[in-house]
Structure 1
Amino acid sequence: MFDTLQERFGEVIKSLRGQARLTEDNIKESLREVRKALLEADVALPVVRSFVDQVREQALGAEVTKSLTPGQVLIKIVNDELVSLMGEANEALDLSAQPPAIILMAGLQGSGKTTSTAKLARFLQERHKKKVMLASCDVYRPAAIDQLRTLADEVGASFFPSTGADQPLTIAKQATEAARKQFQDVLIIDTAGRLGIDEAMMAEIRGLHAALKPVETLFVVDSMTGQDAANTAKAFNEALPLTGVILTKADGDARGGAALSIRQITGKPIKFLGVGEKTAALEPFHPERVASRILGMGDVVSLVEEMQQKVDHEKAEKLAKKLHKGKGFDLTDFRDQLQQMNKLGGMSGLMDKLPGMGQIPDKVKKQVNDKEMTKLIAIVDSMTLKERSYPQIIKGSRRRRIAMGSGTQVQDVNKLLKQFTQMQKMMKKMKGGGMAKMMRQMQGQMPGGLPPGGGFPPGGGFPPGGGFPPGGGMPF
């Protein structure tokens, strides 16, 4: 996410290394690079001008203390301005209305509106323990209603049935009545999109808004369209009183222009980021955390939150006790580690939030392949229980059978067994509290060292289970 900006801002900071202090000359040169970085990221020109002016003003008046380098001072200034640009803090949904609180979803066709509707339902159910009903007023797109019905089943939300022959306003009113009778806390209405903004669509959604009086009207927009996303959001906001924006496909957005432009151009906050295709891939938008990612400092807080929510702590605790007692780490444990990693968005999702990832060469980053993890899980699933417990018995004929059963090659099985052996050795070091010693060794090897506390995440250690992901270590 936002790789282009990370890379360019990293270069700006490097250029200040060795400088004794911030001067008008080196500030001017640095800001020229910052400006180029923002324009390359497809940030809207008025936003770029305003941002650069603010940073210049702050930098020229900045006092560099003895403990800070010019590069660190500039990072602090840029970070503060990025946070200010994107909205200071996360703006949560306002659901303080008599149930059902109605959320109206708006956006162009193909922006990910229907999927975002289901993601939002899952988020509200899991994080806020709300009863949620979904309804589709998209009577124009073939299978739109069926798609939302399927997604509602997947996330465990109620679904109000409708057909393409119904009128959108009729569907919305009937869904509201049904949600009230069923004591639903929230009703999310998915509306029709178009390929472009047209008066027919605007008239329809204005009519829905007037009749429903939703507590939230969220505009769903594809982040990969850059500053066009901000301009489209502005046009919608002029026709409809939006309360916020959901920025989809942020995981594939290397530039970040939409995230930096929307608040300034529309005056509306980004409330959520869509970071993948799965229904769990929706994150509240925290400007300070996104700024931290852009500047290559990672997002440890979000990572810890994800671990608390998505990691199976019971399994992690069992593995921790097992390792502490000196019992062996087997292939079932190894598979559990891979599955835990997948829940956290895979290696690529993990790397996006780790500090210092901007310093890792591109060729190393490209080696990270989450499909490889799925393949490894399939290989272990093709083994017998005895083979998982005693990997040493897996010889030639067994390897061929496992490869056939998992749809892979024998060399893939060989590779997995080699990786497993390496991880097993790492686990042995953790017996009897060896984790702290290993962390001290790692601290000297990691770029920039580990965060305060000597562990990761902050607080001096890893999450329950004694490793990362929980259970003791990385699978690769």
Structure 2
Amino acid sequence: MAFESLADKLQNVFKNLRGKGRLTEADVKTALKEVKMALLEADVSFKVVKQFISSVQERAVGQDVLTSLTPGQMVIKIVNEELVKLMGSETTEIALKPQNEITVIMMIGLQGAGKTTTTAKLAGKFKAKGRNPLLAACDIYRPAAIKQLQVNGEKVGVPVFSMGENNSPVNIAKAAVEHAKKEGCNLVFLDTAGRLQIDEAMMEELVQIKEAVHVDQTILVVDAMTGQDAVNVAGSFNDKIGVDGVILTKLDGDTRGGAALSIRSVTGRPILYVGMGEKLSDLEQFYPDRMASRILGMGDILSLIEKAEFEVSEEKAKEMSQKLRKAEFDFNDFLDQMNQIKKMGGMGSILNMMPGMSQLKGNVDIDEKSMDRVEAIILSMTKEERANPSILNPSRKQRIARGAGVEVAEVNRIVKQFEQSKKLMKQLPGMMGGRRKGGLGGLSGMMGKFKMPF
């Protein structure tokens, strides 16, 4: 996650605070100095950091905090609340007109920010919510931009309106809205052209589109990996075009993530969604409170539950839960579980969302790439072998190893660890209790004691 480095540094600061029975004003100021450095290194705007630290310090040095029974926890609580406030306090949804009217959303941003892909992701999300969206290809400049939108539109099941590259974006936008009226679409996404950098021609074109078409929402897509530049870009677009909300992409990447903490404060515009991966389903609604919890290492169990409920049917989860309790699962079930973990962003992503588990990652042997090798091994088995692993004799294992392109020793290791997992399930009958869809309750207990079988 983008904030992994920041989260580690803040947790170290707070670990020292928790260890003290009483705090002095000097203790708080020393800790906040370290928090300030951690935020600046995460590429949060200096102005934003200064205001943030000032707000926290003002609340944290009061007598009701310093003389409380757990002053360290009180300071952490204040930091958490101020982080939430910094990012917007409340979750903001894109404002849509009633179903019987057409809502026009103009998507804007620089080239390379992932605007076209994000536009398709967003259209797919609203289709799943019962809307009838239309994607309009208004980027006539970037090679293959129209084709990219058409491919992504097909993947999410949303039609794409295009007039080719020989019409002006203004005319395309107007025609797209008329087409939506005829086809009964009630949501139009205008995928406009980006540039490598902000220029007057691009801005003028966006202004012309807004003058020609009644745009209800203007959504800016920015690349979180560009750090402070993303904040500057957001400010420029908001000043010249007017922005109703921001979508941050690539927040799952190796980035300092300061844009997420700065954009709301600098532009006054809310972060609506965040892109957490390349798949068309990897677009999450932005919850300031949940993001603050992730940053402070408190996990994000609500998002984890929502992911599990989206990816796993209730019937399938109940069936799997019963098999696990009775230790009756086979390699087919194991393959299903691996695929569900992949869909949810991998084990590392799951750990980040579990309270207190982010620090565990360094102590657990997780090799996400090796999951592909395990999958290849299981897929090289026959149906009978997957359902009844006890029949896997040496000759069968040699055949499986050849089919998967691995050594026999690796097949032996996977089979052995699979059998150990079955024994573990018998010892932990309540491990998969959790919420109503059952998938992850108690997983933290297992991971604290055992190496992952992949």
Cα distance between partner residues in 2 of 1:251 and 1:62: 40
Deviation, structure 1 residue 400: 2.7
Cα distance between partner residues in 1 of 2:20 and 2:440: 39
Cα distance between partner residues in 2 of 1:282 and 1:260: 18
Q: Which ranges of structure 2 fall in alignment gaps of 5 or more residues?
A: none
Cα distance between partner residues in 2 of 1:131 and 1:272: 20
Which residue is 2:70 aligned to? 69
Deviation, structure 1 residue 343: 1.8
Q: Which ranges of structure 1 fall in alignment gaps of 5 or more residues?
A: 440-454, 456-460
- Say if 1:311 and 1:340, in contact at 8 Å, map to a contact too: yes
* CA displacement 1:210-261 (0-9 Å, x = unmatched): 2222221111001011111111100000111100000000011442210000
Which deviates more, 224-233 or 403-412?
403-412
Taking a change above 3 Å as real, the CA distance of residues 18 and 339 of structure 1, as seen in their structure-2 partners, is closer
Q: Matches of residues 334-413 of structure 1 in structure 2 within 5 Å?
A: 334-360=334-360, 362=362, 364=363, 367-413=365-411
Q: Describe the SS at the equivalent of 2:9.
A: helix
Cα distance between partner residues in 1 of 2:27 and 2:41: 21
Taking a change above 3 Å as real, the CA distance of residues 405 and 177 of structure 1, as seen in their structure-2 partners, is farther
Q: Describe the SS at the equivalent of 1:117.
A: helix
> Would you say 1:212 and 2:210 are equivalent positions?
no
Q: Which residue identity is paired with 1:207?
A: Q
Q: Matches of residues 449-460 of structure 1 in structure 2 within 5 Å?
A: none
Q: Which residue identity is paired with 2:122?
A: L
Cα distance between partner residues in 1 of 2:352 and 2:79: 20
Cα distance between partner residues in 1 of 2:404 and 2:224: 37
* CA displacement 1:36-87 (0-9 Å, x = unmatched): 0111000011001100100110111251398752221111010010011000
Which residue is 1:12 aligned to? 13
Q: Which residue identity is paired with 2:437?
A: P
Deviation, structure 1 residue 333: 1.0
Deviation, structure 1 residue 344: 1.3
Q: 1:419 aligns with which of 412, 417, 420?
A: 417
Identity of aligned residues (%): 48
Taking a change above 3 Å as real, the CA distance of residues 408 and 147 of structure 1, as seen in their structure-2 partners, is farther
Deviation, structure 1 residue 187: 1.1
Residues paired across the two proteins, number:
446
- Say if 1:217 and 1:244, in contact at 8 Å, map to a contact too: yes
- Say if 2:55 and 2:82, in contact at 8 Å, map to a contact too: yes
Q: Which residue identity is paired with 2:118?
A: S
Cα distance between partner residues in 2 of 1:99 and 1:473: 51
Q: Matches of residues 417-456 of structure 1 in structure 2 within 5 Å?
A: 417-429=415-427, 434-435=429-430
- Say if 1:136 and 1:145, in contact at 8 Å, map to a contact too: yes
Deviation, structure 1 residue 309: 1.5
The alignment's TM-score, normalised by the length of structure 1, stands at: 0.88
Q: Which residue identity is paired with 1:64?
A: V
Which residue is 1:133 aligned to? 134
- Say if 2:224 and 2:255, in contact at 8 Å, map to a contact too: no
Taking a change above 3 Å as real, the CA distance of residues 305 and 467 of structure 1, as seen in their structure-2 partners, is closer
Which residue is 1:117 aligned to? 119
Cα distance between partner residues in 2 of 1:136 and 1:469: 47
Q: Describe the SS at the equivalent of 1:63.
A: helix
Deviant stretches of 4+, over 4 Å: 65-68, 465-470, 472-475
Which residue is 1:159 aligned to? 160
Q: Describe the SS at the equivalent of 1:210.
A: helix
Cα distance between partner residues in 1 of 2:437 and 2:194: 45
Deviation, structure 1 residue 13: 0.8
Which residue is 1:279 aligned to? 280
Cα distance between partner residues in 1 of 2:398 and 2:63: 66
